[in-house]
Structure 1
Amino acid sequence: MSTVEDFQPQNWQASSTEALKISLIPAAEGAGALQFSPTFTYPIFGDEEQIYGFRDLVIHLVFDSVTFKPFLNVKYSATAGDDVDAQRDVIDKITPFLPEGDFIQRDEAAWVDAFMKERETFDINALGAERVDEYKGAADGATYGVYRAPLGQLAAADAAAQATNPGAQSPLVRFWKRIQILTLLFIEAATYISLEDEPEWELYLTFNEADRTLVGLCTAYKYWDYRDAGAFDSSEAPAYRKKISQFLVLPPYQGQGHGSALYNAIYRGWFRDSTVTELTVEEPNEAFDDMRDRNDLEMLERAGFFAEVPAEPAHSGDRLLVSDEWAEQMRHKYKLEQRQFSRLLEMALLHLGREPYFAVQVKRRICIKNRDALAELADAEQRAKAVSDSFELVKSDYLRILAGCTFAKGK
């Protein structure tokens, strides 16, 4: 029998972000599933992130935490009418983002059997990845390994092999296609990377070495460094910039230092590579920027950069503590992109107590960056106030970032 509530549209509308429940089945026998909600679902369910026509809708997307074999199940208590179709309105929207032919729907027993069988032979090293770093977890003391794999090259090899063997797929590419949906659900504006168009894609993965649980991932790629065309044309050695594209620590493992460990492992590897000239990041969010700033500052302090910053200008009367040439030399030494190094230099000046020079450095950058906007202000007093206000905001933010740093040698 229908009730008044049955005719109220809001009772049949659900947030897709709230309805979708992501779960990880731990490697340890008997351990409870780790369940969490996505941050974004608009790539799958549209900009409004709403699903209409169901009551008590729950979309279960479950992964084995070792093999990441996906399982999908949709549950609801009622539909708004015969024109509502769970297959069309929910399942058919999410399945295109899952690995074709490599997920199980509804049959939980079949899924458990499948991933348990895969676990028996699952080997991180057999994925085609090499371990490039390891560290002890700050929260649990466990050993974690950071692995790098030539994702684009493996995908290209698969494509070539499929000409004679249509089902050919490397273990690493299969694993990536299982986990890539997480980038859409937790990284704003993320899209699936096109492996076919770019063979230079690399994949970094962080695993718990004891139970083989995946903790974090990062995609990256390299491209030619064309900054000096003459030097580029005459150089026999290749020169590349490398760019971090997608970076994610899975939600159950966030806040435990894994993001910093993964970022530092990537930086150290690229820093040691003589063909890499610069580390860049593609559209970082605020949380990544903060993590990156803290780790870059701590790295510079350990490397002795703070000790290289002079106490006084090279020439008496100079308003800038360091010249642009000196800053550029240091930037290249540490393989950091220009905007990032400029900010790090400013934070170093603030931390080292070079406040008068810090103020000049920051205000100069503000004026250059906002030259056109400042020129539109009526008089010098307004321009000075605008610069001063911006400076105070920058200083406050720098102090916040510095407060989260751990420096070995202090000032």
Structure 2
Amino acid sequence: MDDPMETRLKPYVIDSNEALDIKLIRKEDDLEDDDTSFSPEMSHQVFGDSETIFGYKDLQVQLYYSAGSLETYLGMKYTEKLQKGEIDDVEPDDVFPKLMAKLTPPVYDNLDAFVKALSKDEKFKPCGELLHSFTVNDNGNNRQFEVYKADMTCQGFKEYHDRLQMFILWYIDAASFIDVDDDQWHYFNMYEKFTTSGQQRYATIGFATVYQYYAYPNHTRPRIAQVLILPPFQKLGLCANLLRAIYRQYIGSNEVKDITVEDPAIEFQRVRDYVDAINCMKLPSFSRQLLVQGFNKDMINEARDKFKINKRQSRRIYEILRLQMTDLSNEQEYRDYRLDVKKRLNSPYKRGLQDMKKLESLGNVAIPPPEQRIQSLEKEYRSLEEDYKKVIRRLEEVSEQ
């Protein structure tokens, strides 16, 4: 039987991801254009693990930004609000304080004042050094994008970055704001360069942060930490271009040992695989006749020396490119490839097997039977092959253009 109290409260519970309406405003008309709205993928870091807001009907939380400088407006709309004492002592959630604790001031709560602040974008210019510019054909419309590298010495950049990093809470799980006082952080920001009313403007598209670690004896090892292309600009190949810009910054430096990535999301790993595969296809050690002979030190050294690709990633690229050239209808050829990959996947298990046997003799652990390990390995391989095939399809789409 349903709880009567729960039944009465249910209409006042709303999914915070659905309630939040985010916009990047280029012109005043965008305020009323539903096509400019987008939603978060997650909101637990602001609204709690349940990702719900209680106490309102038809709630819309409006989080609007000017497209360039990210001037911020926060507002709310709803058709009904639960009043204190209306249902026992239950009170509606206080939404604004939860958001204001994360947002960077000033935050406008008056829409007219925010509209006036949009004029600041007329003078907005990206901070830092221009690293990469490129054009994307978006359904017949040529759009121009630029990537800049900035640091905290650039006037106004800290305040801009503080506003920009709010987006990671909506799109990067377990994300946290970085320590901007640590000068080992490098900042890469992407903008669209466009013209409106005969005036050139810049709109924020996405960003990446890279931490420069020390590597013995006198090298550095840049680690890509956060990468985000904002939702309205995804599926245009922009993340690959952002990654290329980062590579350009480091691959020419003798001080840089290699480039790593911190806990890459699946989607970003595919972009990384795609960019690295295009680069490695140019290298002699990754030629077709050598790929079939197996992974070797020449591949490791050449990928690292030419493109700062680390050993683990160069092995992954080898597997992708070898799969691309493998005739899957040739039973022996395909079997040789699978065994090669599975041997690599099984190495950590084999290395730890002796320790597991010691623990098993003490009664602390039970080693799974061989057939269970074989099934687990096959599942792991199949998942990996599907990821590789997605990268290969993208490589082949580019080669056909």
TM-score (norm 1): 0.80
Query: Deviations 1:161-180 (Å, cap 9, x if unpaired)?
Result: xxxxxxxxx31111111221
Alpha-carbon distance between aligned partners in 2 of 1:360 and 1:19, rounded to the nearest angstrom: 49
1:339 has 2:318 as partner? no
1:134 has 2:114 as partner? no
1:24 has 2:30 as partner? no
Counterpart contact for 1:131–1:147, Cα < 8 Å:
yes
User: Aligned pair in 2 of structure 1 residues 406, 264: CA closer, same or farther (>3 Å)?
Assistant: farther
Alpha-carbon distance between aligned partners in 2 of 1:10 and 1:366, rounded to the nearest angstrom: 48
Query: Deviations 1:227-273 (Å, cap 9, x if unpaired)?
Result: xxxxx1xxxxx411111111111111111111111111112222122
Tell me which residue corresponds to 1:57. Answer: 59
Identity of aligned residues (%): 24
Deviation of residue 332 (structure 1)?
2.2
- Spell out the pairing of 1:8-407 with structure 2 (5 A cutoff): 8-27=8-27, 30=29, 33=33, 34-82=36-84, 89-100=94-105, 102-105=106-109, 107-116=110-119, 118-124=120-126, 127=127, 129-139=128-138, 140-151=141-152, 170-196=155-181, 198-210=182-194, 211-226=201-216, 232=217, 238-307=218-287, 310=290, 313=293, 321-323=294-296, 325-333=297-305, 334-353=307-326, 355=334, 358-371=337-350, 372=352, 376-379=367-370, 386-406=376-396
Q: Which 5+ residue runs of structure 1 have no aligned equivalent?
A: 155-169, 227-231, 233-237, 314-320
Letter of the structure 2 residue corresponding to residue 52 of structure 1:
F
Counterpart contact for 1:298–1:406, Cα < 8 Å:
no
Deviation of residue 384 (structure 1)?
5.1
Alpha-carbon distance between aligned partners in 1 of 2:149 and 2:43, rounded to the nearest angstrom: 28
Helix, strand or coil for the counterpart of 2:84?
coil
Counterpart contact for 1:349–1:355, Cα < 8 Å:
no
Paired residues in the alignment total 363
Alpha-carbon distance between aligned partners in 2 of 1:383 and 1:177, rounded to the nearest angstrom: 47
Query: Deviations 1:289-343 (Å, cap 9, x if unpaired)?
Result: 1111112111211355532862675xxxxxxx344x3343234223122322211
Helix, strand or coil for the counterpart of 1:276?
coil
User: Aligned pair in 2 of structure 1 residues 309, 103: CA closer, same or farther (>3 Å)?
Assistant: farther
Alpha-carbon distance between aligned partners in 1 of 2:70 and 2:339, rounded to the nearest angstrom: 52
Helix, strand or coil for the counterpart of 2:183?
coil
Helix, strand or coil for the counterpart of 2:263?
coil
Tell me which residue corresponds to 1:235. Answer: none
Letter of the structure 2 residue corresponding to residue 262 of structure 1:
L
Alpha-carbon distance between aligned partners in 1 of 2:397 and 2:54, rounded to the nearest angstrom: 53
Counterpart contact for 2:280–2:303, Cα < 8 Å:
no
Counterpart contact for 2:82–2:91, Cα < 8 Å:
no
User: Aligned pair in 2 of structure 1 residues 331, 37: CA closer, same or farther (>3 Å)?
Assistant: same
Greater Cα shift, 183-192 or 351-360: 351-360
Deviation of residue 144 (structure 1)?
0.9
